[in-house]
Amino acid sequence: MTGLLHVESSPAGDRSDSTRVGRVFVDSWRKSHTKQPVATLNLWDTPLPELDSAVLAARAAVETGEKPVGDGAAIWSRLQELARPLLSADRLLISAPMWNFGIPYRLKHYIDCVTQPTLTYRGSPAEGFEGLIPGRPAALILSRGGSYGAGTDREPFDFQRRYLLAWLGFLGFRPVETILVEPVATDPEAVTRADHEARQVAARF
């Protein structure tokens, strides 16, 4: 098992506020978990398969208890490979910027790849769903140019945090901590505050 999996979803590298604060979190967590390995998954360096008709056929086969065949078998194997680090991590950290009120398309692509029946959840609309990663803690580090907190005019536009919380809850992750890096466009202290909070959360994570 990996002690902590950090999923980086910004293409900006060291210039990314979410990535920078995420690395502060990881460095702080390492200090109190020296014997537990940390894995980093940079989604912009990770090949993600196209979710085409072969995937849909493979998924349909799995949902009926059959094995995928042909092209579907190979792509299903790739989806299993992508889900493995998520399934084998004791804790999950996702760092993400806000793009157009939501998340980067690369992160959404990854979520669509790993959120598959028998891999990370089971069930159906008729019988209900059950996440297959229950009771593991997760943390979100979310950067935004403006403020989208409770009571602000922009709160209804925050599809970044709400979507990720819904997805993590669907898979069974809990509890989930959220560190907001905002408003980076107008407040030069936003990253400094988030760094401080990241160290505090990492210490108890």
| 144 has binding-site annotation | yes
Q: Which amino acid is at 168?
A: L
Residue 90 confidence (pLDDT): 97
| 77 has binding-site annotation | no
- What does pLDDT average to in each consecutive run of 10 residues of the chain (205 residues)? 96 96 98 94 97 93 92 94 97 98 98 97 90 97 94 94 98 98 96 98 95
Residue 71 confidence (pLDDT): 87
C-beta of residue 85 within 8 angstroms of C-beta of residue 42: no
Residue-number span of the structural domain to which 172 is assigned: 4-204
| 42 has binding-site annotation | no
Residue 60 confidence (pLDDT): 93
| 10 has binding-site annotation | yes
| 101 has binding-site annotation | yes
Instruction: Give this prediction's pTM.
Output: 0.95
Residue 159: give its domain's CATH number: 3.40.50.360
DSSP 3-state percent helix, strand, coil across the chain (nearest 5): 45, 20, 35
Q: How far apart are CA 184 and CA 190, in angstroms?
A: 6
Residue 150 confidence (pLDDT): 85
Residue 102 confidence (pLDDT): 98
| 18 has binding-site annotation | yes
Residue 1 confidence (pLDDT): 82
Residue 131 confidence (pLDDT): 97
| 99 has binding-site annotation | yes
Q: How far apart are CA 49 and CA 12, in angstroms?
A: 22
Residue 143 confidence (pLDDT): 98
Residue 48 confidence (pLDDT): 97
Report the number of distinct structural domains present in the chain. 1
C-beta of residue 115 within 8 angstroms of C-beta of residue 122: no
Number of H helices, E strands in the chain: 6, 7
Q: How many C-beta atoms surround the C-beta of residue 119 within 10 A? A: 22
